[in-house]
Amino acid sequence: MRVRLFAALREAAGTGEAELEAGPLPALLAELRARHGEQFAAVLAVSSVLVDGTTTARDAESIVADGAELALLPPVSGGAGGMKGLPRLFPAGLVQTTREA
């Protein structure tokens, strides 16, 4: 099965994708934490988990089937209290805002 990693998770893992054997969601997430280390695990703890496009609780005992896609999305903003000490998701100056008069 395919795992897609975004933003800070991609940075921590050093890749945007991974392949895993099908299995229970909590076991798959544990395998990813073991592969990619503490920083990855910290960001994953506050990330959204989607299985084939559907948001799923990370502790759900569902089986992720062979051929499924698991997407892991960190919070959009780096300002959440739980993210303190982790790298910003968007480097300063990268996002430009405009205001119409």
Q: Evaluate whether residue 9 is within a structural domain.
A: yes
Q: Is the residue at 45 inside a domain? A: yes
Other CB atoms within 10 A of residue 78 CB: 16
Name the pairing type of β-strands 17-19 and 48-51.
unpaired
Note whether residue 72 is domain-resident: yes
- Show the domain range for 6: 2-76
Q: pTM of the full predicted structure?
A: 0.74
Return the number of other C-beta atoms located less than 10 Å from residue 96's C-beta: 5
Count up the domains in the chain and report the number: 1
Mind listing the pLDDT tens digit for each residue in 16-33? Answer: 999 999 999 999 999 999
CATH code (residue 27): 3.10.20.30
**Integer CA distances (angstroms), 18 to 39, 83, 96, in order:** 17, 24, 31
What confidence tens digit (pLDDT) does each residue in 42-98 have?
999 999 999 999 999 989 989 999 999 999 999 875 444 444 444 444 444 444 444
In angstroms, rounded to a whole number, what is the distance separating the alpha carbons of residues 81 and 4?
25
Assess if residue 100 is contained within a domain: no
